[in-house]
Amino acid sequence: MAVNVETLDKLERKITLELPLEAIQKEVDARLKRLQRQVKLDGFRPGKVPMSIVAQRYGHSVHYEVMNDRVGQAFNAAVAEAQLRVAGQPRITEKDGAPEGVVAFEAIFEVYPEVKIGDLSATEVEKLYAEVDEAAIERTLEILRKQRRTFAARADGEAAQSGDRVTVDFEGKIDGEPFQGGRMTDFAFVLGDGQMLKEFEDAVLGMKVGESKTFPLAFPADYRDKEVAGKTADFLVTVKKIEQQHLPEVNEAFVKSLGIEAGTLEALRDDIRRNLEREVKFRLQARNKAAAFDALAAAAELDLPKAAIEAEIDRLIAGVRQDLKQRGVKDAESVPISRESFRSQAERRVRAGLVVAELIKANNLRATAEQIEAHLRELAASYEHPEEVVRWYKSSAERMSEIESIVLENNVAEFIFGRAKVTLKRVGFADLMGQG
């Protein structure tokens, strides 16, 4: 039977589903009979509870389940027959005025849009490139030294300097009132490492053990804790310990401790360069991929399904709540989060996803087995035991699917760059790595 599909809006559709009451009742009766064999009630042997009691106790819930199942099946069959691609969940409500012996429902839903991709040769896109220079290698070498540094107490009377580890007590107040997270005892941090706000570090710099100081601190407007963001607090800090850092000498023992068997500085620098080049490649791919997808989306014409946008907002908010949990924020699940603040980001993601999917389909793009294997090997090479990493990925179809998706997205980006008007732009290593 042909399905009558009514267009309500650009992407919104409505269909009517009719279900025979006789078939529904037969299914309810069959399920109640199966349930009768399992029900246990005081005063009756297992499987011997009278059907009238089973129906009285469970009839409503079984009827509800059957209706849900039958409506779902009817909806799926109808959209399949009409060859519709449904975006999001349908809104299904019972319809009045159905013929005798029939129960009717209206299903209102959205469909995925037709995507028209414009001429990519007229699309302009910027492609970044970067180089691993000697300064980047030196900076990484210093990071490796800092990771293995030790600390020893400074002599009495010496002031705290950049690079020292200081242990302090502090308490902050806003308008004379304490605030959550504003008070700590025996709190240790390294001056210059950026663990604390610069104003806090500047206040402690030059202090001596036993000294106390009061100073104002203005929290940035975009500070992670929204309760204090944009506000000014008065802090009282007392220095309890100052320890001077000692960086290890770059010698054979240090090099070998990093897993470089040759034990030479040259071998270490070569290893650093290879690791940095891999990291630079992956970061450039991510940023260039985003630029390519944005350019592709801008060159396309399509309507966005509201349901897909709302689902994407849900995913973004879920990610924020998960991040809050990992940071130890109390009541992370109930913290008020504005959906509207994520709407533009969700729209961009949905738009890009639909357009990229259309490009893949139209041009039969895919990730080859060789590309997937090469990407996996390159990813694993940055770990201490690459083969174990490879085996770990290959032991899970889900993890390998993630690798395949990354490779496919890279292929799509290169396809776009191969057809668009590309402008090359050099980006500094520190900016690319977020070290600026």
Q: What is the pLDDT, as a whole number, of residue 394?
A: 95
In b/e form, how buried is each residue of 98-107, taking b as 16+ CB within 10 angstroms? eeeeebebbb
DSSP reduced 3-state for 176: coil
Q: What is the DSSP letter of 163?
A: T
Instruction: Report strand pairing: 6-7 vs 116-117.
Output: unpaired
CATH superfamily name and code, 6-111:
Trigger factor ribosome-binding domain (3.30.70.1050)
Does position 2 have pLDDT exceeding 70, yes or no? no
Specify the CATH number of the domain 150-246. Answer: 3.10.50.40
Which residue is associated with the tokens 């738009």? 351
The pLDDT tens digits of the residues spanning 298-335 come to 899 999 999 999 999 999 999 999 988 888 877 888 88
Q: What is the pLDDT, as a whole number, of residue 1?
A: 47
d(CA 49, CA 288): 68
Q: What is the pLDDT, as a whole number, of residue 88?
A: 87
Residue, of 216 and 51, whose pLDDT is higher: 216
Which residue is associated with the tokens 């290169």? 414
The pLDDT tens digits of the residues spanning 344-402 come to 999 999 999 999 999 999 999 999 999 999 999 999 988 889 999 999 999 999 999 99
Mean per-residue pLDDT over the chain, rounded: 92
Q: What is the pLDDT, as a whole number, of residue 324?
A: 87
The pLDDT tens digits of the residues spanning 398-416 come to 999 999 999 999 999 999 9
Q: Are 227 and 174 in contact (CB under 8 A)?
A: no
The pTM (predicted TM-score) of the whole model is 0.69
Q: What is the pLDDT, as a whole number, of residue 270?
A: 94
d(CA 208, CA 204): 9
Helix (H) or strand (E) holding 434: none
The pLDDT tens digits of the residues spanning 5-56 come to 899 989 999 999 999 999 999 999 999 999 888 888 887 887 788 888 888 8
d(CA 29, CA 22): 11
215 Cβ partners below 8 Å, 6+ apart? Answer: 199, 203, 234, 235, 237
Q: What is the pLDDT, as a whole number, of residue 47?
A: 79
Question: Could you tell me if residue 132 is left (phi over 0), alpha (psi between -120 and 50 degrees) or otherwise beta?
Answer: beta
Does position 278 have pLDDT exceeding 50, yes or no? yes
Instruction: Report strand pairing: 86-95 vs 102-111.
Output: antiparallel
Q: What is the pLDDT, as a whole number, of residue 211?
A: 96
Does position 436 have pLDDT exceeding 60, yes or no? no
Backbone angles phi, psi at 218, to 5 degrees: -95, 115
Domain boundaries, the chain: 6-111, 120-132+261-432, 150-246
Domain boundaries 120-132+261-432, CATH class: mainly alpha
d(CA 323, CA 318): 9
The pLDDT tens digits of the residues spanning 143-164 come to 999 999 999 999 999 999 999 9
Backbone angles phi, psi at 320, to 5 degrees: -65, -45
Helix (H) or strand (E) holding 170: strand 165-174
Q: How confident is the model at residue 435 (pLDDT cuts 50, 70, 90)?
A: low
Which among 111, 384, 160, 137 has a CA at the least distance from the CA of 270? 137
Does position 417 have pLDDT exceeding 80, yes or no? yes
d(CA 150, CA 245): 6
